[in-house]
Amino acid sequence: MTYTNDLLDELTYLLQFNLETTQEGSKIHRSASAATINATTRLFNKRLVTQADGGYFTDLGHIAAEHVQANYSILTPVHESSLKPVSM
């Protein structure tokens, strides 16, 4: 199984949100890239955001964004230096 470009675009969109508040939304303008516009529409169709051009996360969308951001944080090389080997 591999990530498609469409899925990567959706994951990238989910990384952009501030999870500290539910009061911040997103508005995708017509000047955005086609990939971003299409990703937002797909996330709306999947019921992860409230509007086809962004809006707010749904409850499911917030959970998805939390997981995406956590995975990104874990997989980003900067965190490798904070990992300590287990003592034997």
The string of pLDDT tens digits covering residues 12-40 is 999 988 888 777 777 777 888 999 999 99
User: Longest C-alpha distance within the chain, in Å?
Assistant: 57
Look at residues 65, 46, 49 and name the one whose alpha carbon lies nearest to residue 57. Answer: 49
Q: What letter represents residue 44's amino acid? A: F
The residue ranges of every structural domain in the chain are 5-82
Q: Which pLDDT does position 21 carry in this prediction?
A: 75
List the structure tokens of 15. Answer: 């990384």
Residue 5 or residue 22, greater confidence = 5
Look at residues 62, 1, 77 and name the one whose alpha carbon lies nearest to residue 26. Answer: 62
Residue 70: pLDDT band with limits 50, 70, 90: very high
